[in-house]
Amino acid sequence: MYQQQQQQNDQVGMRGGFNLITALLQGHAMTCTVFTRTDFGKEGIGFAGMFGFFIMLVYGGLMNSYPMFIYLCLYLLMVLAQRMKQFSNWRKGIIVHSRYNGYPWLAYKLFPRIKTEANARGAEAFLCLAVGGLLAAYVDQPLGWWVMFGWVSIMATESMIVEVQRRRLQAMRDAEIEQQALADAYRDGRF
């Protein structure tokens, strides 16, 4: 009994830890992608945007970085601009998934040979690495490190999205196979 309860507590603790790391990564990624994407869904910024704001506030305060405060203000302006764009799209009748996390317009603009959205999102991550390096060298180290870490957070969140989609497609394929087998059994009268 005690071992079973201990295993349940361990699973809950691991799940909570994973959820916290995921929220941190998504929040941080949002503080970078809000500048490089457009046409977010209604809930596309949502919790990750709010979480990113608080992470940035704490990090900027701990690093005592005035440029981080400027970046925070620019971030808030961009979130407001993205929300206005989302409202404008809604009024025009443009429908996107409510949790869509934005179209990577900047990557497409800078790298015209990119053909897929997944590749453009990967290019955004490397763009954060390059811009962050320049910011760390010439403007402010804490701000540069923040933007450079966008490489990790964007790649991690995008890989999670890809894996979830792969698993959903696998479940759909499995369901199709099961339904086909059931339909064959029904046609043959094997029930």
The model's pLDDT over 88-147, given as tens digits with 9 standing for 90+, comes to 999 999 999 999 999 999 999 999 999 999 999 999 999 999 999 999 999 999 999 999
> How big is the chain by its Cα radius of gyration, in Å?
21
Given a cut of 80, is residue 4 above it in pLDDT? no
Domains of the chain by residue range: 2-188
Rounded Cα gap, residues 183 and 176, in angstroms: 10
Identity at 115, one-letter amino acid code: K
What does the mean pLDDT of the chain come to? 93
Q: Is 177 exposed, middle or buried (0-12, 13-18, 19+ CB in 10 A)?
A: exposed
Rounded Cα gap, residues 131 and 72, in angstroms: 17
Question: Can you give the pTM of this predicted structure?
Answer: 0.85
Could you report how far apart the first and last alpha carbons of the chain are, in Å? 41
pLDDT of residue 3: 63
* ∠ Cα 154 19 132 (to 5°): 25
On whether the CB atoms of residues 34 and 45 are closer than 8 A, the answer is: yes
The model's pLDDT over 17-48, given as tens digits with 9 standing for 90+, comes to 889 999 999 999 999 999 999 999 999 999 99
The candidate with the shortest Cα–Cα distance to 123, out of 36, 44, 26, is 36
The model's pLDDT over 133-161, given as tens digits with 9 standing for 90+, comes to 999 999 999 999 999 999 999 999 999 99
SS (H, E, C) 171-185: HHHHHHHHHHHHHHH
pLDDT of residue 17: 87
